Structure 1
Amino acid sequence: MKAYLDIETSSDGRITVVGMYRPSKDLKQLVLPNITSQEILDFLNDAEAIVTYNGDRFDLPVIYKHLGLDLMGCFKSLDLMYDCWEHNLYGGLKKVEKKLGIHRDLPDMNGYDAVKLWSKYETRSDRKALEVLLKYNEEDVLNLCILEELLKAKKVED
């Protein structure tokens, strides 16, 4: 069983949201200050692999740096960015999603917007900003499943 993971960070590099999805456990989002190694490991327990987009270079090293949790050492990592490159699909997750027709409710939002939303939440206790940030993270995480399926289908076509 695979687990899908995406993080959001603040302007100073702190992890603000960890979104994780497993079909058998549904979606779980941890929000600062409630992000702990134990919470992540409890959710990922017995997963065969962690699926990310650019996670080998960003999400997983940031988790290691801030929490001391070596997910690449504990689990097989499947970074879909490299699979995309094999099919000449370059750019960030949102750009690839557009090319493949993957739907988003928040199509114009990006990582910088996520940082600004966190700042609004943290400095002004803006609950709406947090809700939008969590929706953005949810789409990042759940769209990894769709992207993975489309890439599998492309391999069959090739």
Structure 2
Amino acid sequence: MKTRAYLDIETTGLSRSRAELTVVGIAIERPTAMGEEPLDLIQLVSPEIDEPGLYKSLESVDEIYTYNGSRFDLPFIKSSLQADLKTKFRHTDLMYHCWKRKLKGGLKSVERQLKIERNLTEVDGYQAVVLWWQYINHNDQNALKTLLEYNAEDVINLQHLRLKLSVD
């Protein structure tokens, strides 16, 4: 039985050369004898994000699932941490499975189209950057809490998306 992980990152911007990695969210399926697949949530938060910690978090994983991870998350991680997850793990980018089903747009748009629920509907990638700087510049713990909740919803909803798409 393979162990799946769902991965999503938060950054200070889109440029790998100028932006920084702020959060790496990982939700790992833990298959049980009952066939259930509960998720263990791991969130690495800057400055505690490093290559050894990332690999330790993923040590039991066979395959990583992302949304647009081929073009953003995995290259950003490689650039920031010199960790090439594509060489260590099988990777499935769910965005391409969505495209095959004519589901276009970002993750939040696809979630709406498939009726996948989200609590923090007002937070998006831009707002995630704002929350990070509120935390850094003002030690705003509520901003960090909201950012981590947003990231958790992203990785947890990746499992819902995989199941709705019937991707193995």
TM over 0.5: yes
User: Which is helix-richer, 1 or 2?
Assistant: 1
Give the match for residue 118 of structure 1.
Answer: 132
What is the one-letter code of the residue matched to 1:41? Y
Give the match for residue 3 of structure 1.
Answer: 5
Equivalents in 1 of 2:75, 2:102: separation in Å?
A: 25
What TM-score comes out, normalization by structure 2 length?
A: 0.88
Query: Where in structure 2 are there 5+ consecutive unaligned residues?
Result: 31-38
Give the match for residue 42 of structure 1.
Answer: 56
Q: Aligned-pair distance for 1:108? A: 2.3
Q: From 94, 100, 104, give the equivalent of 1:90.
A: 104
Q: Over residues 37-69 of structure 1, what are the superposed CA-to-partner deviations in whole Å (9 max), with x where a residue is unaligned?
A: 111111111311110000010000000000000
Give the match for residue 33 of structure 1.
Answer: 47
Equivalents in 2 of 1:39, 1:26: separation in Å?
A: 16
Give the match for residue 60 of structure 1.
Answer: 74
Query: Where in structure 1 are there 5+ consecutive unaligned residues?
Result: none
Equivalents in 2 of 1:98, 1:46: separation in Å?
A: 32
Deviation above 4 Å: which 4+ runs of structure 1? none
Is residue 158 of structure 2 the alignment partner of residue 144 of structure 1? yes
Give the match for residue 14 of structure 1.
Answer: 20
What TM-score comes out, normalization by structure 1 length?
A: 0.94
RMSD (Å), alpha carbons = 1.4
SS in 1 for 2:74: helix
